[in-house]
Amino acid sequence: MKEIHFASDDEETSLEYFYSIGLGHAKHGKPRDAIFYFDRVLAVNPTHMNALINKGNALGKIGRYNDAISSYNMVLKLEPNHVICLLNKGLALHYLQRYDDAITCYDNILSQEPEHTGSLYHKACSKSLQKNTEEALVLLERVIVLDPECGTKANGNKDFDILRNDDRFKALIT
């Protein structure tokens, strides 16, 4: 029979202290140090949602996308529709050039929030890299209507290089 362990108040305080140190490192551009502290929290509480999410983010910052996906998957087992995890998992999959899987994450968000600009924008990026020009442009137009700053963002994004000479793209980003 598995022993159930309840954290004492002191232990909870220590966990939150380590979590906050990890968060500080993450905010100051020290992802490896952040991971160290998030791991300390997760060693005691493997389902600490914020530590899992932020560990995934830190892993992504250092290019360890598969590990980041594992961290996000642990959160998604607990909360399958967690928007931030779905978006960040989608980005990690995108960086691994697993565009169909990334799009699945974005579509999951869009089924909950049809005007989620981050998901629309990143789905357009993935569609562009898949050379699906029509759908990329439709998505890009839709997201720019919702958030005009996305046009400026798209202008400088290499994911849209295939669209640079398309007059429709030029019209969207000007």
How distant, in Å, are the alpha carbons of 12, 88, 107 from that of 75? 20, 12, 18
Q: What pTM was computed for the model? A: 0.89
In the predicted model, residues of the chain with pLDDT beneath 70 are: 1-11
pLDDT at 114: 97
Structure tokens at 162: 């295939």
Q: In the chain, how many domains are there?
A: 2
The verdict on 54 and 27 lying in the same domain is yes
The verdict on 141 and 160 lying in the same domain is yes
Helices (H), the chain: 9-27, 31-44, 49-61, 65-78, 83-95, 99-112, 117-129, 133-146, 149-155, 167-173
- Print the domain residue range for 173: 81-174
- Find tokens 């490192």 and name the residue: 25
The verdict on 67 and 88 lying in the same domain is no
The verdict on 111 and 49 lying in the same domain is no
Domain final position from 80, 112, 128: 80
pLDDT at 12: 72
The verdict on 18 and 88 lying in the same domain is no
Domain final position from 50, 80, 110: 80
Q: Which amino acid is at 45?
A: N
Give me the torsion for CA of 156, 162, 166, 170, rounded to 10°: -10
Residue 62 · residue 70 · CB < 8 Å: no
